[in-house]
Structure 1
Amino acid sequence: MNIDAHQHYWDPKRGDYGWLTPDLALLYRVFGPDDLAPLRKSANIERPVVVQAAPTIAETRYLLDLARSEDSIAGVVGWAPLHSADAPAIIDEFVREPKFKAVRPMLQDLPDDTWIEHAPSPKAIERLIDLDIAFDALIFARHVPSLIKFAERYSKLRIVVDHGAKPQIRDRRDIAWQPWADGIAQLAALPQGLFCKLSGLATESNPGWTDETLQPYVAHLLEQFGYERLMWGSDWPVLEMNGSYTAWHDAARRLTSHLEKAEQDAIFGENARAFYCL
């Protein structure tokens, strides 16, 4: 089964997407399963994993409600207030829904780059481990040292790095490459075997990106994580700001076409199925 390991549904009228403003005219509308269905069909993607886009309990409930009535949704990555004493109880509420698979604090948007080192409640993280709920890390290269400390502290927590840690591909290569490349190598070398999403690269590029633009970054992610720990995601509809679902999917297929079929199948479905326990 081909799986999109990272996409979003939202309704701006809900009012809790702080980053989603009318200035982002292309994104400032409802995006739901009916919008994604023809795009998935064109790329032969059977099911998506839907990821939170607002740091609120209400939005996670909204996604879980949607997942109950939408068979195509394979899993939901939600949000929980991991710093709060209430976090274990909230996680317990969410886990009653069989499609609740992971939590994601929006680390890239927090004013404290070291938040993940000290703010989450140990009881909340231990609850995730006890329930076998995964953790999505939305980071830039500057967050890598703190994420390493967090991962070393909670070595039994299943962690996936979103969007390849968002290399700034729109910058000059000498600026974009480091410290991103070293950070990826450090994360990939952690003994618990972090996973990584092959997603978001088109979003971080300049308009008019090509396979050649993305190739060094895809090659580095493959070299460090191997096909066994990479999973393809669209980052739709954010992707629409700098590309299309079909263009990014086809580019990712071409950039991994040197792999064996079973290895490509792992990146485009099996790894997401296994990691998220779909």
Structure 2
Amino acid sequence: MGREKFTGTGVALVTPFTKELTVDYTGLQKLLDFTLDGNVNYLVVNGTTAESATTTEAEKAEILSFIKKHVQGRVPLVYGLGGNNTQQLLDTIASTDFEGIDAILSVSPAYNKPSQLGIYQHFLHIADASPVPVILYNVPGRTSSNITADTTLKLALHDNIIGIKEASGNMEQCMSIAKHKPEQFILISGDDLLTVPMISFGAEGAISVLANAFPEKFSEMVQLALAGNFKQAASLLHSFIDINPLLYEESNPVGVKALLERFGICSANVRLPLLEATSGLKNRLEKLL
């Protein structure tokens, strides 16, 4: 698996819903066309931003099938497969059709807060079982536990673990990974606003929420940074600074779905326990646009 497949901008796709809260495949097709026209490099299906916590196994399979048929191999697909029950996750891997999937993105176990050795063993089992490469996902703000740099670097030695989406916000930790990682291991920014500085010390791009709504602009920023044009990349980054916090104010993907509704891509509907963006949030997003 060439690391270049996951260099650049990956979009953490939302799952559009109808007003009845069924999956909106018309909206999903519009979103796929919109992001692909924006020159993104790959798509992430069934990640946190896709509200994977509230989609059923049948819906997940249908969404993946729809995206594979629509994308037709134009860009690589990364499929979100993570959880805090290791054996259940291994069973899911065993029953998943991986045709057309280029890698999985596996989030660190949430809620049960395993030790670093527990996290290490969890991912070793996932990597051994997965027929496609594994990208680790560290997001302590959601999981309540951090994958330390030392644990990441130990996992990076596994042949089937090819990278990490780092969303800890801990730049010293990210720099340590960049400094000590094997050359083929990919460091990916999991925080949109930290993408340019992370690329400056060794990251190879981002898996982005913003890229749902601003695929072309975000992709241009990433490509400029990868080419070493950091002044121009920073100028584009600055345009996102005010809007990015609003995307998370009422939880992700509430804010970005409000933007997508504003752009005519899909509705702002989300499933409980999330609620659609308040009128106040929508008004502030509108003012920034």
TM-score, normalised to structure 2's length? 0.55
Work out the CA distance in 2 between the residues paired with 1:181 and 1:46: 24
> Could you say if the C-alpha distance between residues 189 and 46 of structure 1 is closer, same or farther in structure 2, counting changes exceeding 3 Å?
closer
Decide whether aligned partners of structure 1 residues 98 and 201 sit closer, same or farther in structure 2, where only a CA change above 3 A counts: closer
Moved over 6 A (4+): 13-16
Consecutive unaligned residues of structure 2, counting only runs of 5 or more, are 230-289
Distance 1:83 1:117, change over 3 A: farther
Aligned letter for 1:231? G
| Residue 158 (structure 1) aligned with residue 161 (structure 2) | yes
CA distance in 1, matches of 2:174, 2:200: 11
Specify the alignment match of 1:271 in structure 2: none
Match in the other structure for 1:50: 45
After superposition, the Cα gap between the structure-2 partners of 1:121 and 1:152, relative to the gap in structure 1 and judged at 3 Å, is closer
The answer as to 2:64 corresponding to 1:64 is: yes
**1:88 partner amino acid:** L
2:8 and 2:219 in contact (8 A); partners too: no
Residue type matched to 1:62 in 2? E
Determine whether 1:134 maps to 2:134.
Answer: yes
What CA distance in whole angstroms lies between the structure 2 residues aligned with 1:46 and 1:187? Answer: 23
| Paired AA for residue 5 in structure 1 | G
Q: Are residues 67 and 220 of structure 1, via their aligned partners in 2, closer, same or farther at CA, if it must alter by over 3 Å?
A: closer
| Residue in structure 1 matching 2:196, options 178, 196, 218 | 218
CA contact (8 A) 2:133 2:161 kept: yes
CA contact (8 A) 1:165 1:184 kept: no
Alignment partner for residue 197 of structure 1, among 172, 188, 201? Answer: 188
Answer whether contact 2:135 2:162 (CA < 8 A) is retained: yes
Distance in structure 1 (CA, Å) of the matches to 2:124 and 2:218: 38
Amino acid at match of 1:181: M
Q: Report the residue type matching 2:177 in the other structure.
A: L
Q: For the residues of structure 1 that align with 2:148 and 2:189, how far apart are their CA atoms?
A: 22
Q: Per the alignment, in what secondary structure is the counterpart of residue 161 of structure 1?
A: strand
The 3 A distance-change label for structure 1 pair 96 and 256 is closer
The offset of 1:102, in angstroms, is 0.8
Partner of 2:103: 101
In the superposition, relative to structure 1, how do residues 192 and 61 fare at CA in structure 2: closer, same or farther (>3 Å)?
farther
TM-align CA RMSD: 4.1
Instruction: Say if 1:165 and 1:3 are closer, same or farther in 2 by CA, change over 3 A.
Output: closer
Q: Is the 8 A contact 1:102 1:135 kept in 2?
A: yes
- Cα displacement (A) at 1:154: 6.7
Contact 1:144 1:187 in 2 (8 A): no
The count of aligned residue pairs is 210
Unmatched 5+ stretches in structure 1:
17-27, 168-179, 203-213, 260-278
Structure 1 residues 250 and 62 mapped into 2: Cα distance closer, same or farther (>3 Å)? same
Q: Counterpart in 2 of 1:235?
A: 209
> CA separation in 1, counterparts of 2:99 and 2:46?
15
Given candidates 27, 34, 37, the residue that maps to 2:30 is 34
Give the Å deviation of 1:132: 4.1
Question: How many Å apart are 1:5 and its aligned residue?
Answer: 2.0
User: How far, CA to CA, are the matches of 1:230 and 1:33 in structure 2?
Assistant: 28
SS at 1:98 equivalent: coil
Q: 1:187 aligns with which of 177, 185, 194?
A: 177
Residue 251 of structure 1 is aligned with which of 186, 211, 221?
221
Q: CA deviation at 1:252?
A: 3.0
Per the normalisation by structure 1, the TM-score is: 0.57
- Structure 2: how far apart are the matches of 1:9 and 1:73? 17
Any idea what SS the aligned residue of 1:10 has?
coil
1:97 counterpart SS class: coil
Indicate how the Cα distance of structure 1 residues 3 and 144 shifts in structure 2: closer, same or farther if over 3 A, else same: same
In structure 1, distance between residues paired with 2:210 and 2:198: 23
Residue 269 of structure 1 aligns with which residue? none
Judged with a 3 Å threshold, the aligned counterparts in structure 2 of structure 1 residues 89 and 11 are, in CA distance, closer, same or farther, namely same
Give the partner amino acid of 1:11: P
Distance of aligned partners of 1:116 and 1:155 in 2 relative to their CA distance in 1, 3 Å threshold: same
Provide the secondary structure at the position in 1 that maps to 2:192.
coil
TM-fit CA distance, 1:230? 0.6
